[in-house]
Amino acid sequence: MTEQLHEVGLTVNGAAYQAEVPARRLLSDFLRHDLRLTGTHVGCEHGVCGACTVLVDGVPMRSCLLLAVSVQGQHVTTVEGLAAPDGTLSAVQRAFQECHGLQCGFCTAGFLTTITAGLRQNPEPTIEQAREMIGGNLCRCTGYQNIVAAVLRAAEIGGGDAGGE
C-alpha cells in the first residue's frame, strides 16, 4: 500500500511551490527535505523548543506541529528569506552577529523568525519585553544573555524594519 498524495500550493520566501505530499508530511520536513530549505531546524518535534519556527502569513508558527497540507495557499517565510534579495543581512541578523547571539547556531533560525515578527509588532521593546519575545524558544548554548541584547540592538538599528518580506 503506497501512501496517498495530496496537492499543496504555497509561497515560500516569495516563490510559489506546487507539490504532492502525503497527508502526514510535516511542514518542517516538507521545507527541509522537499524544498531543501534546511535553514529551519528541528530540535524536539513536539512544539516546545521553537527551533523550527517559521512565519506563516507573518505569524510565527512551529513547523514541526503543522502538516504541509495545512498551509495551502499561505505565505511562509523561513530564515533563508530574512536577508534582502541582494544578501544584505536584516537588522535582526546583523544584531545577532554584533551581539554574539549565537554559538552552535542550531536554535538560531527559530529565534530570528520569532524576533522578526516580534519587532514588527513592538519595534521598541523594553528589556522585559525582549525577554518575553523570546520566552518560548530554547537555546542550550548562549544562556540567552546575548540573544536578549540582540533583540534590543536589532530594535535600535532596524528603525522598525525587521526585514523578511
Partner 1 sequence: MQVGSSYLGEPIARVEDPRLLTGGGRYLDDLGQDAVELAVLRSPHAHARILDIDVSGAIDVPGLLAIYTYDDLSGPLAEPLPLLIPHPSISAGRTQYVLAKDEVNYVGEAIAVVVAENRYLAEDAAERIEVSYELLPPVVGLVAAREAQQLVHRDVEGNVAAHFVQQVGDAAAAIAAAPHRLSLELSVERSASTPLEGRGVLARWDTDSQRLRVWTSTQTATGVRAAIAARLGLDLGSVEVITPDVGGGFGVKIVHPWPEEVLVPMAARALGRAVKFTEDRREHFISSAHERAQLHEVEVGFDDEGHLLGLSVRFWHDNGAYLPYGLIVPIITSTQLLGPYKPAAYRVEFESLYTNTVIVTPYRGAGRPQGVFAMERTMDAIAAELGIDRAEVRARNFIQPEEMPYDHGLIFQDGRPLVYDSGDFPATLDKLKALVGWDEWPAYQAQARASGRKVGLGLACYVEGTGVGPYEGGHVQIETTGKVKVSTGLTSQGQGHQTAFAQIVADELGVAISDIEVVTGDTRRFPYAVGTFASRAAVMSGSAIALAARAARAKILRVAADALEAAAEDLEIVDGMVRVKGAPGNEIALGTVAVLSNPLRYAFDEASKAATQFAVGDPDLPPVAEDDEPGLEGKDYYSPLRSTFANGMHAVIVETDPDTAEVAILRYCVVHDCGTLINPRIVEGQIHGGVAQGVAGALYERMAYDESGQLQNASFMDFLMPYVSEVPERIEIDHLETRSPLNPLGIKGAGEAGVIPGAAVFASAISDAEGFQITAMPISPSELFELRRQHAANAAQKGTQP
Residue from 58, 104, 101, 94 nearest 78 by CA: 58
Output the smallest distance, CB 74 to ligand FES, in A: 18
Minimum distance, C-beta of residue 48 to ligand FES, in the bound complex (Å): 5
CA distances from 117 to 4, 11, 58 (A): 35, 18, 7
Q: Which of 65, 75, 144, 152 binds partner 1 (CB under 8 A)?
A: 144
Residues 7-46 that bind partner 1 (CB under 8 A): 22, 24-25, 32-33, 36-46
103 residue type, one letter:
Q
Residues 127, 156, 157, 161: which binds partner 1 (CB under 8 A)? 127
Q: What are the beta bridge partners of residue 8?
A: 19
Nearest-approach distance from CB 46 to ligand FES, in angstroms: 6
> Among residues 123 and 144, whose Cβ is nearest to ligand FES?
144
Q: What are phi and psi of 12, to 5 degrees?
A: -125, 120
Say which entry of partner 1, ligand FES, none residue 62 contacts (CB below 5 to 8 A, set by partner kind): ligand FES
The residue (of 44 and 59) whose beta carbon lies closer to partner 1 is 44
Question: The C-alpha cell of 119 is what?
Answer: 519587532
How many residues at the interface with partner 1, by CB under 8 A? 60
Q: CA–CA distance from 143 to each of 10, 22, 39, 50, 131 (Å)? A: 36, 38, 22, 16, 12
Binding to partner 1 by residue 58, rule CB under 8 A? no
